[in-house]
Structure 1
Amino acid sequence: ASWNGLTPTDYIFPAFIFIVGVSIVLSLTKQSEKGLNRNQLVQKIFFRSIKIYLIGLFLWLWPSFDFGRIRWVGVLPRIALVYMVCALLFLYTKRKTQLIIAIVILVGYWLVMMYLPVPGIGIPDLSEPGKNWANYLDQNYLPGYLWKKTWDPEGILSSFPAVVTGLLGMMAGFILISNVEFKDKLLRLFLLATTLLICGDIAQYFMPLNKSIWSSSFVLITGGISCLLLACFVYWVDIKGQYSKFKFARVFGVNAIFAYTLAGIFYTLFYSKKLWGISLSAIFMEQAITIGVAPKLASLLYALFYVFVIWIPSYQLFKRKIFIKL
């Protein structure tokens, strides 16, 4: 969505962060069982966060490496931040404390974004961009290039509710490692998803659904949907044994960072006009429309083609059992 509201693509980023939360519980629990102590885990957490963040900076700078136009925040930097904060909370706090932190952040964020007067603006107005605390803090305190010129969707203040998305994923992760049968895990996941969706539906009457500022209602709704999808996959894969039917997705899943990085690098090749005076994406669209393909269908076909281009090298790694980990 351009501002308030939700579109299918708005679910992708929060779903990824939700799964980061799930993986934190699964991974750190497994590493603890192998004998790694807390200090060793903290070291691994910090190094992994730094590597994810640096990859994000690299993709922004690629290929011109114009450091005068550097963007310090973004998708991977936010994932790095959420991973680090949630992983440390996993190590140093109990589940009840994590739940309290999540509630405090969501309620506090709602109060600040809806009612706390913004300098030079007054009472925040979320009906349009630029009249809220997220915009004010980014414009005045966030260095570097801002994605929206005066604010950034991965900016300072909206990173707090993004951490809650990771915490919701951790809640689902705790269900997955619980010592109960899969059908009971499935029931608990559905219960968590239903609770989040109901709370999100109520919350949107007090704070609009908005991905750009990662509103509290957005956190709850997308968290509920992510949990619901996770429950469905638990049913299909772990209960019904339909593991082989998800091979296409597994190729991306086992090397997610590689696929994302490759997509970022290829983006320049496909969208740059420097090679032929026109981008490959524009050539594809023009040719498709010329032969009678509707513009929206042509756009969809191009998106599928681009996904397939990234899938091919990812599959080669999958076939050779090469899994790139940070």
Structure 2
Amino acid sequence: MAEFKRLISLDAFRGFTIAAMIMVNNPATWAHIYPPLEHASWNGLTPTDLIFPFFIFIVGVSIALAYTKRLNAGVDKGPMYRKIVFRSIKIFAVGILLWLFPSFSFEDVRIAGVLQRIAIVFLACAFLFLNSKWKTQAIVAGALLVIYWLVMMLIPTPGYGKVMLEPGANIAAWVDSKFLPGYLWQKTWDPEGLLSTFPAIATGITGMLAGHLVLSKLPAERKVIYLFAFSFFAFIIGYFWNYIFPINKNIWTSSFVMVTSGLAGMVLAVSIFFVDMLGRTRLTKPGIIFGSNAIAVYVLADVWRLPFYSWKFGGSSLNNHWMSMFENTGWSMEMGSFLYAALFIGFNFIPAWILYKKKIFIKL
């Protein structure tokens, strides 16, 4: 079997990734969180640090799967370009609107952000995919990672007179402080800033390369083996690169790209083997439901934060009531915070399930 009818595993992977993203963003209180559900403070990697690069990797795979079919069908590129640009603008705009919601104070608008980065990566990767072969795409990804590494390691941070990789004291942070308008997440720099978006594009390209392999004419078993092997090799490169350019999500280092893309590729390979080849689909349904409207569900989750975190009921918000209840249960406060996040995920599953059942798929 050389081709898969549809990668159910990829749909589920996308959905579970979005669900994880919503969960780690919405504990009952940031004062009580299990360590794996927090981002690394600076260098290093936690399970939470995998979520965003995994999603961007999936974006890359999806680009390869979607646009290869259209190119093979002889679809004119002109309309595709227009749709790509329009979709990117929509995702970027929704990211800004989510930041403004509900006060819509334009004085502190944040131009950078998660959806904004996804929009930029999608735009760059889709245009690259439509105009190049996989070898060129691999070269571009490698060049982005090496050039970014050299820029970060060889250019002294202005004002310090030396190369630095400390929080707020590196060349990426300096670029943000000088050229990125609007509110910055860390006051003087942003983890979704300008310079670090270039290696994020490389993350998207690694997903495209995985997509090329999945679409190749190799037997299905060999596709999975090669995907796992190449992904493991990427992980090893990132692991050793870490010794001279530390793994760091905040500035999206080149080692971070290789390690997270390697892990994403291995997860995808294992998922394809069990789900698409062996037909073990029973546990994939929740992921498929979330993944069918992934970005729409992510947006809805931000809207639902109002009743869950801001509105007052009996003089206090729901999350504060929840944590007050847990103070007298004997359970840990971390468990209480985690269960509230799980409840929040369950609540967001309801509109996702309704949209899925009604076959409504919102494509931002």
Report the TM-score, using the length of structure 1 for normalisation. 0.96
Equivalent residue number for residue 304 of structure 2: 266
Corresponding residue of 1:131: 169
Alignment of 1:162-181 (within 5 A): 162-181=200-219
4+ residue runs of structure 1 moved beyond 4 angstroms?
273-277
- The residue aligned with 1:2 is 41
Question: Partner of 1:323 in structure 2?
Answer: 361
Structure 1 range deviating more: 165-174 or 26-35: 26-35
1:107 equivalent to 2:149? Answer no
For structure 1, the residue ranges without an aligned partner over 5 or more in a row are none
TM-superposed CA distance for 1:115, in Å, is 2.1
Alpha-carbon distance in structure 2 between the residues aligned to 1:42 and 1:276: 52
User: 1:58-106 deviations in whole A, cap 9, x for unaligned?
Assistant: 1111111111110011000000000000000001122211111111111
Which of 235-244 and 223-232 deviates more?
235-244
Give 1:98's aligned residue: 137
- Contact (CA 8 Å) 1:138, 1:152: kept in 2 or not? yes
Counterpart contact for 1:3–1:210, Cα < 8 Å: yes
Q: 8 Å contact 2:312–2:318 — kept in the other structure?
A: no
Amino acid at match of 1:36: V
Give 1:20 deviation, angstroms. Answer: 0.2
CA shift for structure 1 position 300 = 1.4
Q: What are the superposed Cα offsets for residues 289-310 of structure 1, whole Å, 9 maximum, x if unpaired?
A: 2222201111211111111011
Whether 1:70 and 2:116 are equivalent positions in the alignment is no
State the distance in 1 between where 2:319 and 2:141 align. Answer: 42
> d(CA) in 1 for partners of 2:260 and 2:153?
20
1:201 to 215, 222, 239: 239
Q: CA deviation at 1:34?
A: 3.8
CA distance in 2, matches of 1:286, 1:100: 54
* Deviation at residue 320 of structure 1 after TM alignment: 1.9
- Check the 8 A contact 1:21/1:168 in 2, yes or no: yes
Distance 1:163 1:285, change over 3 A: same
Q: What amino acid sits opposite 2:304 in the alignment? A: F
Counterpart position of 1:41: 80
- 1:184 is aligned to 222
Q: Give the stretch that moved more between structures: 195-204 or 274-283.
A: 274-283
Shift of 1:270: 1.7
Alpha-carbon distance in 1 for matches of 2:288, 2:314: 35
Q: Does 1:157 align with 2:157?
A: no
The structure showing larger relative contact order (alpha-carbon pairs under 8 Å, at least 6 residues apart) is: 2
Residue 246 of structure 1 is matched in structure 2 by 284
Q: Which amino acid aligns with 2:355?
A: L
* CA deviation after TM superposition for structure 1 residue 268, in Å: 2.7
Query: Aligned partners of 2:243, 2:159: CA distance in 1, in Å?
Result: 26
What is the TM-score of this pair, normalised by structure 2? 0.87
Say if 2:318 is the partner of 1:280. yes
Q: Give 3-state SS (helix, strand or coil) of 2:327's partner.
A: helix
Q: Deviations over 1:253-304 (max 9, x none)?
A: 1110111011111123222155654322222122122222201111211111
Q: Whole-Å Cα distance in 1 between the matches of residues 268 and 76 of structure 2?
A: 30
Aligned to 2:332: 294
Task: Quote the RMSD (CA, aligned, Å).
Answer: 1.3
Cα distance in 2, alignment partners of residues 142 and 275 from structure 1: 39
Query: Can you give the 5+ residue segments of structure 2 that lack an aligned partner in the other structure?
Result: 1-39
- Aligned partner of 1:52: which letter? I
Q: Among 182, 185, 201, which residue is 1:144 paired with?
A: 182
Conservation of the 8 A alpha-carbon contact between 1:18 and 1:165: yes
8 Å CA contact retained: 1:114, 1:123: no
Deviates more, 1:185-194 or 1:29-38: 29-38
Counterpart amino acid of residue 155 in structure 1: G
Cα deviation, 1:216-237, whole Å, max 9, x if unaligned, reads 1100000001001101110111
Question: 1:290 is paired with a residue of what secondary structure?
Answer: coil
Q: Secondary structure at the match of 1:136?
A: helix
Aligned residue type for 1:285: M
Deviation at 1:129, TM superposition (A): 0.3
Do structure 1's residue 212 and structure 2's residue 250 form an aligned pair? yes
- The answer to whether the 8 Å contact 1:50/1:80 transfers is yes
Whether the 8 Å contact between 1:182 and 1:238 is mirrored in structure 2 is no
- 2:11 paired residue number: none
